Structure 1
Amino acid sequence: MSRLKTAGKSRLPIEMRTQRAALDGQYKGAIRSAPRTVLGSAVAAAVFMSGQGAFAVEPAQLQNEVGAKTSQEGTTLPAITVTGRVDSAATEGTGSYTTGETAAATRLPLSFQETPQSMTVITRQRMNDQQLNSVQGVLENTTGVSSYQSDSERTSFYSRGFLINNVQYDGIPTVVGNIVSGSGIGSLDTAFYDRVEVVRGASGLLTGTGNPSAAINLVRKRPTREFSASASLGAGSWDTYRGMGDISTPLTEDGRVRARMVGTYQDGHSYVDGYKPQKKSFYGIIEADLTPHTTVSLGFDYQDITPKGSTWGGLPLWFSDGTQAAYSRSKNYAQDWSHSDNTLKTAFAEIEHRFDNGWNLRAVANQYRTEYDAELLGVVGRPDRATGLGSYPYGAFPVALASEGRSRQNTLDVMASGPFELLGRQHDLVVGATSSRRTAGQEDIAPFFAGFAPVNVYDLSTAFPRPNFDAMASIPTRTLIKQSGVYSAARFSLADPLKLIVGGRFSNYEIDDDVGGASLHYKKSEFAPYAGLIYDIDKTYSAYVSYTGIFNPQTDYRDSRGNVLTPSKGTTKEIGLKGAYMEGRLNASLALFDTELDNAAQMLAGTYTPGGAQAYKGADGTKSRGMELDLQGELGRGWNIYAGIAHFTAQGGDGVRLNSQIPRTTAQLFTTYQLPGEWNRLTLGGGVKWQSHFYQAPNTGTSSLGGEQHSYALVSLVARYAFTKKTNVAVNLNNVFDKKYALQKGDFDTVSYGAPCNVMVTLNYKY
Structure 2
Amino acid sequence: MIGSFHPAFRLALLAASFLSAPAIAQDAEENASGNETIVVYGSGIGSNAAATGLDLTPRETPQSLTIITREQIDDQAASTIADVLEYTTGLSVKRVDRGRNLLSARGFDITNFQIDGLPFATGNVGLEESSTVIYDRVEVVRGSVGLLQGAGEPSASINMVRRQADAREFTGTVTLEAASWDHVSATVDVSTPLTSDGSVRARFAAEVYRQDAFVDLESSKGFTLYGTISADVGPSTRLRVGGSYQKDERNGVMWAQLPYWYADGTVADWSRSKTTGADWNAWDTAETSAFLTIEQDVALGWMLKGDVSYFQQTEDSKLIWLWGSPDKASGIGMDVWPYWYLAKPKQWNLNLQLKGNYQLFGRSHELVVGAMYNHLKTGWTNRDPDAATVAPVGDFNAWDGSYPEPTWGLRYRMSGFGTTKQTAFYGVTRFRLLDPVKLILGGRLSSWVRDEEEALYTAEPYRLKKNVFTPYAGLVVDLNKFLSAYASYTSIFNPQTVRDREGRYLDPLEGANYEAGLKADLLDGRLRLSGAVFRIEQDNFAVPDIGYFVPGTTDVASKPAMGTVSKGYEFEMQGEVLPGWDISAGWSHFKATDADGIDVQAHQPRKVFRMATKYEFGGTLDGFSFGGSARWESRPPQTAANPATGETEKVGQKAYWLANLMGAYDIDDRLSLQINVNNVFDKRYYNTNSWFGGYIYGEPRNVRATLSYGF
TM-score clears 0.5: yes
> How far has the Cα of 1:613 moved from its partner?
2.9
Partner SS, residue 583 of structure 1: coil
What's the counterpart of residue 646 of structure 1?
Answer: 588
Partner SS, residue 262 of structure 2: coil
Choose 122-131 or 651-660, whichever is displaced more: 651-660
Q: 1:26 aligns with which of 13, 29, 32?
A: 29
CA distance in 1, matches of 2:595, 2:37: 45
What's the counterpart of residue 747 of structure 1?
Answer: 691
Choose 455-464 or 198-207, whichever is displaced more: 455-464
CA distance in 1, matches of 2:249, 2:311: 19
What's the counterpart of residue 18 of structure 2?
Answer: none
> How far has the Cα of 1:452 moved from its partner?
6.8
CA distance in 2, matches of 1:102, 1:746: 35
Q: 1:357 aligns with which of 280, 300, 319?
A: 300
CA distance in 1, matches of 2:484, 2:689: 42
Choose 580-589 or 454-463, whichever is displaced more: 454-463
Q: List runs of 5+ in structure 2 lacking aligned partners.
A: 1-21
Taking only aligned residues, the RMSD between alpha carbons, in angstroms, comes to: 2.4
* 8 Å CA contact 1:340, 1:375 repeated in 2: yes
Q: 1:165 aligns with which of 111, 122, 133?
A: 111
Q: 1:314 aligns with which of 240, 257, 260?
A: 257
How many residue pairs match? The answer is: 677
CA distance in 2, matches of 1:613, 1:352: 47
What's the counterpart of residue 502 of structure 1?
Answer: 441
What's the counterpart of residue 70 of structure 2?
Answer: 124
* 8 Å CA contact 2:673, 2:708 repeated in 1: yes
* 8 Å CA contact 1:695, 1:709 repeated in 2: no
Say if 2:594 is the partner of 1:658.
no
What's the counterpart of residue 408 of structure 1?
Answer: 346
> How far has the Cα of 1:745 moved from its partner?
8.0
What's the counterpart of residue 146 of structure 2?
Answer: 204
Say if 2:673 is the partner of 1:729.
yes
> How far has the Cα of 1:93 moved from its partner?
2.3
Say if 2:175 is the partner of 1:232.
yes
Choose 139-148 or 356-365, whichever is displaced more: 356-365
Say if 2:532 is the partner of 1:591.
yes
> How far has the Cα of 1:708 moved from its partner?
2.5
What's the counterpart of residue 464 of structure 1?
Answer: 403
Say if 2:477 is the partner of 1:535.
yes
What's the counterpart of residue 629 of structure 2?
Answer: 687
Q: Cα deviation per residue 1:400-451 (whole Å; 9 max; x = unaligned)?
A: 2221111211211011111111000111111111012211231135799885
What's the counterpart of residue 297 of structure 1?
Answer: 240
What's the counterpart of residue 399 of structure 1?
Answer: 337
Partner SS, residue 300 of structure 2: coil
Say if 2:663 is the partner of 1:719.
yes
Do the aligned partners of residues 377 and 695 (structure 1) sit closer, same or farther apart at CA in structure 2, a change above 3 Å counting?
Answer: farther
* 8 Å CA contact 2:261, 2:268 repeated in 1: yes
What's the counterpart of residue 571 of structure 1?
Answer: 512
Partner SS, residue 116 of structure 1: coil
CA distance in 2, matches of 1:376, 1:504: 45
Do the aligned partners of residues 330 and 289 (structure 1) sit closer, same or farther apart at CA in structure 2, a change above 3 Å counting?
Answer: same
What's the counterpart of residue 195 of structure 2?
Answer: 252
> How far has the Cα of 1:397 moved from its partner?
2.4
Do the aligned partners of residues 415 and 467 (structure 1) sit closer, same or farther apart at CA in structure 2, a change above 3 Å counting?
Answer: same
Do the aligned partners of residues 682 and 166 (structure 1) sit closer, same or farther apart at CA in structure 2, a change above 3 Å counting?
Answer: same
Choose 434-443 or 558-567, whichever is displaced more: 558-567
Say if 2:369 is the partner of 1:431.
yes
CA distance in 1, matches of 2:701, 2:658: 10
| Structure-to-structure mapping, 1:142-181, within 5 angstroms | 142-178=88-124, 181=125
| Structure-to-structure mapping, 1:590-629, within 5 angstroms | 590-609=531-550, 610-629=552-571
* 8 Å CA contact 2:381, 2:412 repeated in 1: no
Do the aligned partners of residues 343 and 705 (structure 1) sit closer, same or farther apart at CA in structure 2, a change above 3 Å counting?
Answer: farther
> How far has the Cα of 1:747 moved from its partner?
2.0
CA distance in 2, matches of 1:308, 1:762: 25
Choose 168-177 or 740-749, whichever is displaced more: 740-749
Say if 2:32 is the partner of 1:93.
no
Amino acid at match of 1:152: R
Q: Cα deviation per residue 1:359-385 (whole Å; 9 max; x = unaligned)?
A: 221100111111111111132111112
Q: Cα deviation per residue 1:730-751 (whole Å; 9 max; x = unaligned)?
A: 0000000000000128822212
Please say which structure displays the higher CA radius of gyration. 1
Q: Cα deviation per residue 1:233-280 (whole Å; 9 max; x = unaligned)?
A: 100000011211111111100111111111111211011111113231
> How far has the Cα of 1:356 moved from its partner?
5.9
Q: Cα deviation per residue 1:704-736 (whole Å; 9 max; x = unaligned)?
A: 876221000000100010011111010000000
What's the counterpart of residue 43 of structure 1?
Answer: none
* 8 Å CA contact 2:95, 2:689 repeated in 1: no
CA distance in 2, matches of 1:345, 1:296: 21
* 8 Å CA contact 1:446, 1:611 repeated in 2: no
* 8 Å CA contact 1:695, 1:746 repeated in 2: no
What's the counterpart of residue 382 of structure 2?
Answer: 444
CA distance in 2, matches of 1:375, 1:462: 14
CA distance in 2, matches of 1:258, 1:327: 54
> How far has the Cα of 1:474 moved from its partner?
5.5
CA distance in 2, matches of 1:745, 1:206: 28
Amino acid at match of 1:575: A
Q: 2:450 aligns with which of 508, 511, 536?
A: 511
* 8 Å CA contact 1:709, 1:745 repeated in 2: no
What's the counterpart of residue 45 of structure 1?
Answer: none
Choose 131-140 or 214-223, whichever is displaced more: 131-140
Amino acid at match of 1:402: W
What's the counterpart of residue 487 of structure 2?
Answer: 545
Partner SS, residue 148 of structure 2: helix
What's the counterpart of residue 370 of structure 1?
Answer: 313
Partner SS, residue 458 of structure 1: helix
Q: List runs of 5+ in structure 1 lacking aligned partners.
A: 1-17, 32-37, 39-83, 390-394
Partner SS, residue 640 of structure 2: coil
Say if 2:330 is the partner of 1:387.
yes
CA distance in 2, matches of 1:569, 1:745: 24
CA distance in 2, matches of 1:229, 1:604: 55
Amino acid at match of 2:359: E
Q: 1:187 aligns with which of 106, 126, 129?
A: 129
Q: 1:487 aligns with which of 426, 430, 449?
A: 426
Asked which structure has the greater RCO (Cα within 8 Å, sep 6+), the reply is 2
> How far has the Cα of 1:355 moved from its partner?
3.7
TM-score (norm 2): 0.91
> How far has the Cα of 1:695 moved from its partner?
4.6
Choose 396-405 or 558-567, whichever is displaced more: 558-567
What's the counterpart of residue 59 of structure 1?
Answer: none
Partner SS, residue 415 of structure 1: strand
CA distance in 1, matches of 2:368, 2:564: 32
CA distance in 2, matches of 1:646, 1:723: 39
> How far has the Cα of 1:516 moved from its partner?
1.7
CA distance in 1, matches of 2:414, 2:255: 20
CA distance in 2, matches of 1:124, 1:411: 26
> How far has the Cα of 1:103 moved from its partner?
2.0
Partner SS, residue 113 of structure 1: helix
* 8 Å CA contact 2:536, 2:565 repeated in 1: yes
CA distance in 2, matches of 1:365, 1:283: 17
Do the aligned partners of residues 403 and 614 (structure 1) sit closer, same or farther apart at CA in structure 2, a change above 3 Å counting?
Answer: farther
Say if 2:619 is the partner of 1:677.
yes
> How far has the Cα of 1:656 moved from its partner?
1.3
* 8 Å CA contact 1:399, 1:448 repeated in 2: no
> How far has the Cα of 1:22 moved from its partner?
7.5
